[in-house]
Structure 1
Amino acid sequence: MRPAPGEMPFLDHLEELRWRILKSLGAILLCVGLCLFFTEWIMDGLLLGPTRASFFMYDVLRLDAIDVVLQNRTVTGQFFAFFGTVIAAGVVIGSPVVVYQTWKFIEPGLYPDERQGLRFAAVFATFFFALGISFGYLIIAPVALQFFAQFQISDSIVNEFDISKYFSMLITWAFGAGIVFELPVVVTILAKVGVLTQAMLKASRRYAIVIVLVISAFITPPDPWSQFLMAIPLMGLFELSIGLTGIVERRRARDLAAEERREAKEREKREAEAARATTEAASVEPSAAPGPEPERPESE
C-alpha cells in the first residue's frame, strides 16, 4: 500500500529518528568538547564558586558565609568528579539542540494549530529548564551548602565534605530544580489535550501544597529553609499553570465559537443558494400547450 501524499513510510520515520538522535548526540559531544577547553573556569569559577565565602550570591542573599573545605577520599574521586561534571555541563548547554531536534522530528505530523502550540512548548520548556537550573545553582545550593557547613553538634567536629558528594549534590540540586520548573509546560500540554482544566487545578490547590512540599523535600537537603525556598517558586509555578490553563481554555472556546460561526455561514450560504435555485426554476414558465379549438356555430 503506497503512502498518501505528505505521509512518510515507517522505515523513513526510523531513518529520520536516527538522524535526529545522532544530531542531538553530536551537539552534546560538541558542547562537552567545548567545556573541556574551559574546564578551569567551569571547575574553579563555576562549580567550586559556592564553596568560597566570596561567592557573589552570599552577598545577594545576605548570608554570613564561610569557606567550605572539600576533600578527596578515594583514588578515583577527582577523576570521576571532573569528567562527570564536564559531561553534565555539556548536556545542559546542548539541551536546547536536543529540544529543537525533537521538535523537528514531530513537527511534520502535526496540524497547523498543534504546531503552534508545541512550538510554544518547545521554546518555554528550554526557558523554564534553564530558569530552574539557575535557581538551583544560585539559590538552593548556596543556602544548603552554608547550612550544612555551619551545622555542628560539637566544636571538636570539623565539617569537611567529600568532593564526589559535593558535586553529586550540586548536580542534583540544579537538575532537580530544572526538571520541576517544567511544571507550567507539562500542565499547558495536558490542558491542550483536554486532560486538565482550570477548575480541576483550582479545586486541587490544597493537595498541590502538600505535593509541592514533598517534592521540595525530595530534591533539597533535609533542612526546612531549603525546602521553603524551593516550595515558594513551585507554588508560583502552579499558580502560573492555573493562569495558562485558563488562557488555553479561553482560546479553545474562541476557536470553537469561530468554527461554529464559520459553519453557520456556510450553512446559510448553502441554504441561500438552494433558495435562489428554487426561485429561478419557478420563474421559468413552461411552454404554452395548444388549447382546445373553439366550437363552430351550427348552420341553420
Structure 2
Amino acid sequence: MTEDPPKATSPKDRTANMSFLDHLEELRWRIIKGLSGVGIGIIIAFFLGDFLVDEVMLGPTQSDFFVYKLLGIEAIDLTIQSRKLPGQFFTYWGTLIVFGIIVGSPLFFYQVWSFVEPAMDRAEKWKSVGHTIFITFFFLLGVAFGYFILVPFALQFFSQFQISDAIHNDFDINEYFSSLTMWVLSCGFIFQLPVISYFLSKFGLLTPEFLKTYRRHAIITCFILSAFLTPPDPVSQVLIAIPLILLFQLSIWISGIGVRKRNKSLEKAFGNG
C-alpha cells in the first residue's frame, strides 16, 4: 500500500480537556449523586420499618419462614437477644441502611459507570443504562441467592450445632444482623463474577479457554465452599454448590462474548471489518 489509510474521526469526548483535579471533582459529584439513591432507599425503608424488621430481617429466625418449607429444611426458632444497650437501635437503623443500599444500587452503579465510560473503547462501548442493568441484575440476583438460599441453611446449621448439651444457643441481635448482612451483600458481590469476566475478556486480560482450564478447580472450590456454609448433608451442599457452578459456567460464556466483541473492535480499528 502506498497511500496512508484514512484516519478515523474520534468521537467527542467530554473529558478530553479535563485536568486531574477536574476528574476528581466529577468523581466526587458522581459518588454524591449515587449515594443520593441510597438516601432515597433509606427514606422508603423508614416508612416500611416495621415490615422490614419483623418480616425481612427477623423472618429467617422463625421456623415457619416460607423458605424453610420450600427447601424442605427442618427448622427451629432462633432465640435472639439484645445484650448491648443500643443493640436494637443500631440494628433498626442498620436494617434501613442495608435496604437503602440495595434499593439505591442501580443509581449508584449508573453514576459510577457514567464516570468510567469515557475511558472505555469508544468504537463500541456500552450504553450507561444498559450497563447499569447488567451490573444491577447480577447484584440483585446474588442478594436474592444469599437471602433465600444461603441464609436459611447457614442459620439453621449454626443454631442447631452444639458441642455440648450444657450450652444453649442464644444469639445477640447485633451479631445476627452482622452475619445476615455479610452473607447477603457478599453474595451480591460474588455474583458480579460474570460482569468482571466480561470486562476482563473485552480488555484482553481473560479468555474462556483460561476459565475452562480451571473449571475442575472451580467446581471443587464450589463444593468446598458449600460444605462450609451448609449442614453436613449432601442435599444441602448440592443446593448451594450448583448455583455457584452455574455462575462460573455463565462467566465462561460471557467471557466468550467479551472476546468476540474485542476481536470485532480490533478488526474495525485496523480496517479489516
TM category (shorter chain) comes to 0.7 to 0.9
Query: Is contact 1:103-1:119 (8 Å) kept?
Result: no
Q: Which residue does 1:127 correspond to in 2?
A: 137
1:194-233 deviations in whole A, cap 9, x for unaligned? 111111111112232344456557xx64744566544322
Residue identity (%): 45
- Alignment CA distance shift 1:20-1:112 (3 Å): same
Which residue identity lines up with residue 245 of structure 1 in the other structure? S
Q: Which secondary structure does the structure 2 equivalent of 1:116 belong to?
A: coil
- Write the distance in 2 (CA, Å) between the matches of 1:44 and 1:173: 19
2:51 maps to 1:8: no
2:53 maps to 1:31: no
Which residue identity lines up with residue 84 of structure 1 in the other structure? G
Query: Is contact 1:140-1:229 (8 Å) kept?
Result: no
- Alignment CA distance shift 1:66-1:28 (3 Å): same
TM-score of the two chains, using structure 1 as the length reference = 0.76
Offset at residue 236 of structure 1 (A):
1.1
- Alignment CA distance shift 1:92-1:110 (3 Å): same
Q: Which residue does 1:107 correspond to in 2?
A: 117
Q: Which secondary structure does the structure 2 equivalent of 1:75 belong to?
A: coil
Which residue identity lines up with residue 67 of structure 1 in the other structure? D
- Write the distance in 2 (CA, Å) between the matches of 1:251 and 1:18: 31
Which residue identity lines up with residue 36 of structure 1 in the other structure? F
Query: Is contact 1:53-1:67 (8 Å) kept?
Result: yes
- Alignment CA distance shift 1:258-1:8 (3 Å): closer
Offset at residue 161 of structure 1 (A):
1.4
Q: Which has the higher contact order (CA 8 A, sep 6+)?
A: 2
2:198 maps to 1:171: no
Which residue identity lines up with residue 234 of structure 1 in the other structure? L
- Alignment CA distance shift 1:153-1:214 (3 Å): closer
Deviation beyond 6 Å, 4+ runs, structure 1: none
- Write the distance in 1 (CA, Å) between the matches of 2:87 and 2:122: 51
Counterparts of 1:57-68 in structure 2 under 5 Å?
Answer: 57-68=67-78
Query: Is contact 1:141-1:170 (8 Å) kept?
Result: yes
Which residue among 84, 88, 91 is the counterpart of 2:98? 88
Which residue among 179, 188, 191 is the counterpart of 2:201? 191
Q: Which has the larger radius of gyration?
A: 1
- Alignment CA distance shift 1:111-1:196 (3 Å): closer
TM-score of the two chains, using structure 2 as the length reference = 0.82
- Write the distance in 2 (CA, Å) between the matches of 1:116 and 1:174: 28
**Matched residue count:** 258
Q: Which residue does 1:239 correspond to in 2?
A: 249
Q: Which moved more, 1:124-133 or 1:226-235?
A: 226-235
Which residue identity lines up with residue 146 of structure 2 in the other structure? G
- Write the distance in 2 (CA, Å) between the matches of 1:82 and 1:69: 18
Q: Which residue does 1:47 correspond to in 2?
A: 57
Which residue identity lines up with residue 26 of structure 2 in the other structure? E
Offset at residue 263 of structure 1 (A):
4.7
- Alignment CA distance shift 1:75-1:247 (3 Å): same
- Write the distance in 2 (CA, Å) between the matches of 1:25 and 1:255: 34
Q: Which secondary structure does the structure 1 equivalent of 2:126 belong to?
A: helix
Query: Is contact 1:32-1:87 (8 Å) kept?
Result: yes
- Alignment CA distance shift 1:74-1:257 (3 Å): closer
Please, which runs of 5 or more residues in structure 1 have no aligned partner?
265-300
Counterparts of 1:265-284 in structure 2 under 5 Å?
Answer: none
- Alignment CA distance shift 1:168-1:183 (3 Å): same
Q: Which residue does 1:73 correspond to in 2?
A: 83
Query: Is contact 1:31-1:91 (8 Å) kept?
Result: yes
2:208 maps to 1:201: no
Which residue identity lines up with residue 99 of structure 1 in the other structure? F
CA RMSD of aligned residues (A): 2.7
Query: Is contact 2:110-2:128 (8 Å) kept?
Result: no
Query: Is contact 1:198-1:245 (8 Å) kept?
Result: yes
1:173-194 deviations in whole A, cap 9, x for unaligned? 1011111111111111110001
